[in-house]
C-alpha cells in the first residue's frame, strides 16, 4: 500500500507519521521560481554584492588586462584584503545584534603591538605572543560587552570611547614615531610565504569533497525528516561552482609569479588564505549549526521576545562583542605579519571603515537579524578589488575613497529598501 502524499499546505496539520519522507519536494523549476520570488520580496542576501563584484572584475580585467588578472596581483588581492576580511567577519556578530563596534580597528592595532612587543622586546616564542595578542582582544571585547549588555550604555558610545583609549594605548606601547620590527619566521610566513603547490591542491580537493559530502548529507537528512529540501540539481550546481572557483584559484596561484624567477621563485597559495577559510568555516558553523548562532539571530530580530523565551540576551551580547574583538586581534596578527613591523598607526587610517563597509556591502543588515560570514568575505572582496583596481589605473586615494563610499552608501540603501519591500510583502 502506498504512503499518502502530504502537500505543503497540509503539512502543519498532518500527523507526524505522514511527515517523514512524504513532504512534496519542490522541482528544480519551482526552486528557481521560489528564489526569484524571495528576491522580489526583498530578501536579496548577498546577490547585489556578488553582481557588483562581477561587474568590477570585468571592468578592471578589460582596462588592465596585463596586470589585474595576473597571478601576482590575484595573490596580492588575497593578502591585501586579509585584515579587512577578518575584522569584517567579527563585525558580523555585532551587526547581527543591531549594534556596532567602532573600536575593532584599534583593537587589531593594540593586539599587533602586544604581539610585536612580546616577540621583539621580551623574546617570547611566537605561540606565546599570539596567545597574548588574542587575550588582548578578548579583554577588549569583554569590556565592551559588559558596558553594553550589563550597564545598557549604547554600543556607539562605548566603542567610540574604546576607540580613543586604544589609540592612546598603541602610542604608549610603541611610542610616538616608534616602530617595532618582527623577525619571527612563523609570524612573518603567515602573510609572506606560500603553501607548497601539491599541498595546495590537496587542501583544495579535500575542501571541495568535504563541502560536497556535507551538502549532500544535509539534503539527505532534510528529506528523511520530512523537511523541504532543495532539488538535487541545485545542490549539484552549488558544488560544481565551488569546485570551479576553488580549484581555479589554486591553478592560478600555483603559477610562477616572481618577477625574477631565476633568483627567487614565488609559487603557491598564500598561507593566509587557508587560515582565513578555516576561520570562516568555523564561524559559519557557529552561526548556522549551533543553538548559540540561532540565539544571535533571535536577539537581533527581537531582543525582548528572545528574553521572554528564556534566552540570556545579555550573555549573547557579551559573547558577540568578545568574538568581534578576538577576530580583530587575529587581524592585528595578519597586519603585523604583512608589514613585518608594527607602528603607532596600526589599526588606524581606513581599516575600521573598510571592515564595516565590507560587512554591509556583503549583505549584513545594519538593523540586525540578517547576515552571514560569507557576506563579510564577499564585501571584503569588493573593497579589495576597488582599491587594487583603481590603484593599478593610477587613481588617487581620494578617488578610491569616493568610489568605495558610494558603493557603501548604495549597499546601505539596498538594505533599507529590501527591508521596506519585505515588510510590504509580509516577509519582514
Residue 298: CB atoms within 10 Å? 18
Q: Could you read off the pLDDT tens digit of each residue along the chain, which spans 428 residues?
A: 444 444 444 444 444 434 444 567 778 777 777 777 777 766 677 788 888 889 889 999 999 888 898 889 999 999 989 999 999 999 999 999 999 999 999 999 999 999 999 998 888 999 999 999 999 999 999 999 999 999 999 999 999 999 999 999 998 888 777 788 999 999 999 999 999 999 999 999 999 999 999 888 888 888 888 887 788 888 899 999 999 999 999 999 999 888 887 788 889 999 999 999 999 999 999 998 899 999 999 999 888 898 998 899 999 999 999 999 999 999 999 999 999 989 888 877 788 888 998 898 888 888 888 889 998 999 999 999 988 888 888 888 788 888 888 887 877 777 777 767 766 665 55
User: How many other β-carbons are positioned within 10 Å of the β-carbon of residue 132?
Assistant: 18
Using alpha carbons only, give the angle 183, 188, 194 rounded to the nearest 5 degrees: 145
| Widest Cα–Cα separation across the chain | 83
- Comparing CA positions, the residue from 342, 345, 392, 403 lying closest to residue 76 is 392
How far is 220 from 322, CA to CA, in rounded Å? 36
The crossing angle, in degrees rounded to 10, of helices 126-145 and 185-192 is 70
Non-local CB neighbours of 49 within 8 Å, separated by 6+ positions: 361, 362, 363, 375, 378, 379, 382, 411
Domain architecture of the chain: domains with CATH: 45-193+270-419 (1.10.3470)
Torsion sign, CA atoms 294, 245, 46, 65: positive
**What is the DSSP secondary-structure string of 317-343?**
HHHHHHHHHHHHHHHHHHHHHHHTEE-
Cell numbers 580585467: residue: 61
**Angle between helical axes of 291-301 and 313-339 (0-180°, round to 10):** 110
Distance CA 328, CA 334 (A): 10
Please name the helix (run of DSSP H) or strand (run of DSSP E) that holds residue 181, with its range, or none: strand 180-181
Pairwise CA distance, residues 201 & 195, whole Å: 10
What's the length of the chain?
A: 428
* pTM recorded for the entire structure: 0.87
Of 350, 274, 280, which Cα lies nearest the Cα of 109? 350
- Give the three-state DSSP class for 362: helix
Amino acid at each position: 500500500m502506498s504512503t499518502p502524499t502530504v502537500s505543503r499546505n497540509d503539512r502543519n496539520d498532518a500527523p507526524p507519521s505522514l511527515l517523514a519522507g512524504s513532504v512534496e519536494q519542490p522541482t528544480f523549476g519551482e526552486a528557481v521560481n521560489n528564489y526569484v520570488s524571495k528576491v522580489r520580496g526583498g530578501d536579496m542576501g548577498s546577490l547585489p554584492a556578488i553582481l557588483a563584484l562581477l561587474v568590477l572584475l570585468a571592468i578592471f580585467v578589460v582596462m588592465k588586462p596585463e596586470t589585474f588578472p595576473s597571478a601576482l596581483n590575484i595573490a596580492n588581492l588575497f593578502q591585501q584584503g586579509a585584515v579587512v576580511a577578518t575584522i569584517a567577519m567579527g563585525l558580523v556578530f555585532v551587526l547581527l545584534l543591531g549594534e556596532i563596534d567602532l573600536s575593532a580597528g584599534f583593537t587589531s592595532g593594540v593586539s599587533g603591538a602586544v604581539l610585536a612587543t612580546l616577540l621583539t622586546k621580551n623574546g617570547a616564542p611566537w605561540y606565546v605572543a599570539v596567545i597574548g595578542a588574542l587575550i588582548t582582544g578578548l579583554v577588549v571585547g569583554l569590556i565592551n560587552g559588559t558596558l553594553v549588555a550589563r550597564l545598557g550604555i549604547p554600543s556607539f558610545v562605548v566603542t567610540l570611547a574604546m576607540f580613543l583609549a586604544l589609540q592612546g594605548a598603541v602610542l604608549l606601547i610603541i611610542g610616538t614615531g616608534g616602530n617595532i620590527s618582527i623577525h619571527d619566521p612563523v609570524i612573518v610566513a603567515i602573510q609572506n610565504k606560500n603553501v607548497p603547490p601539491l599541498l595546495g591542491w590537496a587542501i583544495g580537493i579535500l575542501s571541495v569533497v568535504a563541502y560536497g559530502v556535507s551538502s549532500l548529507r544535509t539534503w539527505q537528512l532534510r528529506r528523511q525528516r520530512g523537511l523541504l529540501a532543495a532539488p538535487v540539481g541545485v545542490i549539484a550546481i552549488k558544488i560544481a561552482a565551488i569546485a570551479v572557483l576553488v580549484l581555479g584559484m589554486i591553478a592560478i596561484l600555483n603559477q610562477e609569479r616572481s618577477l625574477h624567477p631565476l633568483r627567487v621563485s614565488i609559487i603557491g597559495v598564500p598561507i593566509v588564505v587557508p587560515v582565513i577559510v578555516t576561520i570562516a568555516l568555523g564561524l559559519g558553523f557557529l552561526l548556522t549549526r549551533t543553538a548559540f548562532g540561532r540565539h544571535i539571530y533571535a536577539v537581533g530580530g527581537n531582543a525582548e521576545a528572545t528574553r521572554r523565551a528564556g534566552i540570556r540576551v545579555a550573555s549573547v551580547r557579551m559573547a558577540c562583542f568578545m568574538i568581534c574583538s578576538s577576530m580583530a586581534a587575529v587581524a592585528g596578527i595578519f597586519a603585523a605579519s604583512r608589514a613585518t613591523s608594527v607602528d603607532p598607526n596600526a589599526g588606524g587610517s581606513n581599516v575600521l571603515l573598510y571592515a564595516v563597509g565590507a560587512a554591509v556591502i556583503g549583505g549584513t543588515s545594519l538593523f540586525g537579524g540578517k547576515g552571514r560570514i560569507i557576506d563579510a568575505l564577499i564585501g571584503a572582496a569588493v573593497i579589495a578589488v576597488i582599491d587594487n583596481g583603481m590603484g593599478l589605473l593610477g587613481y588617487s586615494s581620494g578617488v578610491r575613497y569616493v568610489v568605495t563610499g558610494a558603493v557603501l552608501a548604495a549597499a546601505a540603501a539596498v538594505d533599507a529598501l529590501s527591508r521596506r519591500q519585505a515588510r510590504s510583502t509580509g516577509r519582514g
